[in-house]
Amino acid sequence: MARTALLTTLAMLAFAGNSLLCRLALRDTGIDAASFTAIRLGSGALILAAILMSRGKRPTAGGSWPMAAMLFAYAVCFSFAYRDLTAATGALLLFGAVQLTMTGYGLWTGERIGGLRLVGLLLALGGLIWLLLPGLAAPPWLEAALMLTAGASWGVYSLLGKGAGDPTAATGGNFLRTLPFAAALMLAMASTGTVDRTGALYAVLSGAVTSGLGYVLWYAVLPMLRATSAATVQLCVPAIAALGGAVLLAEPVTARLLVASVAVLGGIALTIYRKN
């Protein structure tokens, strides 16, 4: 259980880091969304291929084209949405869609949620609403729709990943398979693409560290969680992103933020540690 908690915590920190790095790059540097996406995916593919080859494995041995398509759909919608969403709003929309997708699948396949797990889910949702909704201006509809699509794509990707086998091989194979999609995106956006050094650095960090290595951790922990628990645990990411945004993006730290974070993390603890 301690190993599960540690891996889950590291994966959630990585996911929150993606929101912060993407928003920071698109807000404060000269990189465009398409270039950020392509560099992110390329960096993730390179580091994972290097890890796999160091272990004597073929980089394309794992993963699948359906999973790669979901990974690319998530990444491209994520980047374009963050052109005009704050880190906290984007994380809320993203993981709200993830939660609905994965919990819906879990219930559709026969999972039941009750007792303390239900209390934990409601507590986490309540904390998330308390943190992000009161006083929050409605986000732009196009960017909101893109982020909801990113969340649904990530939810499907996570569910497919539960049976993907070796997590590093699967993640590496999926990243490599996204490269033709990324190349096509770059060609389509070539006339408007811009890249600067700082933006490229953020994209590399997002791809190599918080995406590539972060997803390996998530794959490793997924088999230890029910679909509904896997969905609920990701609700902590908006809280982490909001806390990070307070430091990196000058978002205010308030008592409401702290109380909501305790509620979200406490609710998640109930869904993870309760034996069913």
Over the chain, what is the mean pLDDT? 83
User: 124 and 235 in contact (C-beta within 8 Å)?
Assistant: yes
Q: What is the pTM of this model?
A: 0.82
Does the pLDDT at position 274 exceed 60?
Answer: no
Copy the structure tokens of residue 28. 């404060």
- CA gap 200, 83 in Å, rounded: 16
pLDDT of residue 79: 97
Copy the structure tokens of residue 101. 């997708």
Does the pLDDT at position 137 exceed 50?
Answer: no
Q: How confident is the model at residue 276 (pLDDT cuts 50, 70, 90)?
A: very low
Tell me the per-residue pLDDT of 81-115, one tens digit each, with 9 for 90 and over: 999 888 877 887 787 777 777 777 877 887 777 77
- Domain locations along the chain: 2-273
pLDDT of residue 253: 62
pLDDT > 90 fraction of the chain, expressed in percent and rounded: 36
Residues composing the chain? 276
Tell me the per-residue pLDDT of 237-261, one tens digit each, with 9 for 90 and over: 887 888 888 788 876 666 766 677 6
